Amino acid sequence: MGNQIHYIKHNKIDFNKWNNLVERAEQGTVYSYSWWLSAFCQWDIIVLNDYEAGIPVPQASGMFIQKIHQPNFIQQCLWLGTLPDDDILPHISKLIASKSQVIHFNSNLPLDFSVTERKNQILDIREASEVQAGYSKSLSKNIKKQRDKVLVSENQDIQHTIDKYTAAYGSLNTQLKPIDYLKIKNLAVSKPENFVNLTLYLNKQPVAGLLFAKGKNRLHYILGAPTADGRKVNALSIGIHYIIEKYGSSYAVLDFEGSSIPSVHQFYRSFGSEVETFYELSHMPYWLKMPLRVYKRLFKS
């Protein structure tokens, strides 16, 4: 029979088989599990044969059209399992295109759409002493200077971290809406075993909050922000350093999620992070482009 590709609607997915695929797939992350995907989007799947490999397909709608769109708090929709042969890739692309007029999502597959390479930043944290030896000189100096002043507390005060983040960076990340923050908070509360939340204190006052997701041998940096006083003592650096020291023996990779902002990119690089490439995939038929421009202009006015 050979390899067969199947598109499976959400209500027909065998979630046990899907999660088993996530467990055994080298590419799987905590974002790939059914419970994480369902927290942030409606999703279907494309699978090879009987869940031997596959990819989630995130659904969205707007302007009376169906879209495949990358949800907030899910960096990539990864192909899990053995990578498809070149002759199968076009079939996967056609299946996705047949389900949507507009496509915009991230993956590890360079499918037959408009493809833009993006950079993620990751850090192997299995040997904490080696990681710390790879810190930049200024980072090492700042951590040594300030760490004894700052108390790091693990807790479940997710709202505090969200509040710190929205106060510091909310205006720069307008794609994150109140409903998105509520979704990540509810998920962290319902799945505490898959999250680490830090509050950092200076003179008994909270000066930063950081939230990490954990699973599939990776820690993912979800949210983090300092107050003005937190910036002065490099609170975010101290929080990340704490994570590396405590969790490096349990998790292989700290995933910074990358950033196109040069200063943020350089901050992650100061820890010795390496680049991991993924693909931003997009497609829109010509007849939709002009109405979309008009819609956006009216919506923003």
User: Any idea what the CATH number is for the domain that residue 271 is in?
Assistant: 3.40.630.30
Give a yes or no: residue 296 inside a domain: no
- Residues 178, 269: one domain? yes
Last residue of a domain, one of 60, 90, 112: 112
Under the banding of pLDDT at 50, 70 and 90, the label for residue 300 is low
- Residues 77, 93: one domain? yes
pLDDT of residue 143: 96
- Residues 135, 42: one domain? no
Distances (CA, A) of 95 to 46, 65, 169, 196, 246: 8, 17, 38, 37, 44
Give a yes or no: residue 299 inside a domain: no
- Residues 125, 260: one domain? yes
Running DSSP on this structure, what letter comes out for residue 71?
P
Kindly tell me if the per-residue pLDDT of 49 is higher than 50.
Answer: yes
Question: Do residues 106 and 278 touch, judged by C-beta distance below 8 A?
Answer: yes
- Residues 270, 141: one domain? yes
- Residues 226, 188: one domain? yes
Last residue of a domain, one of 48, 77, 112: 112
Give a yes or no: residue 300 inside a domain: no
Phi-psi domain of 51 (left: phi exceeds 0; alpha: psi -120 through 50; beta: other): left
Show the DSSP H helices in 122-227 as ranges: 128-133, 137-146, 158-169, 178-190
Least confident of 27-41, 56-70, 237-251, 263-277: 56-70
Residues 133-187 have pLDDT tens digits of: 999 999 999 999 999 999 999 999 999 999 999 999 988 888 899 999 999 999 9
Q: Which residues form the domain of 69?
A: 5-112
pLDDT of residue 202: 97
pLDDT of residue 111: 92
Q: What is the mean pLDDT of residues 32-52?
A: 96
Show the DSSP H helices in 148-284 as ranges: 158-169, 178-190, 228-232, 235-247, 262-269
Residues 75-104 have pLDDT tens digits of: 999 999 999 888 889 999 999 999 888 899
Number of domains in the chain: 2
Provide the sign of the torsion angle of the four alpha carbons 142, 144, 145, 150, taken in this order: positive
Question: Do residues 244 and 198 touch, judged by C-beta distance below 8 A?
Answer: no
Question: Do residues 120 and 257 touch, judged by C-beta distance below 8 A?
Answer: yes
* Nearest partner of 197 among 220, 180, 179, 175, judged by Cα: 220
Q: What is the mean pLDDT of residues 116-133?
A: 93
Angle at 27 (CA atoms; ends 154, 114), nearest 5 degrees: 110
Mean pLDDT of the chain: 91
The distance between the two most distant Cα atoms of the chain, rounded to a whole number of Å, is 68
pLDDT of residue 14: 98
Q: In one letter, which amino acid is 239?
A: G
- Residues 161, 246: one domain? yes
- Residues 165, 73: one domain? no
- Residues 56, 151: one domain? no
- Residues 58, 134: one domain? no
SS3 169: helix
Last residue of a domain, one of 87, 112, 137: 112
SS3 301: coil
pLDDT of residue 239: 98
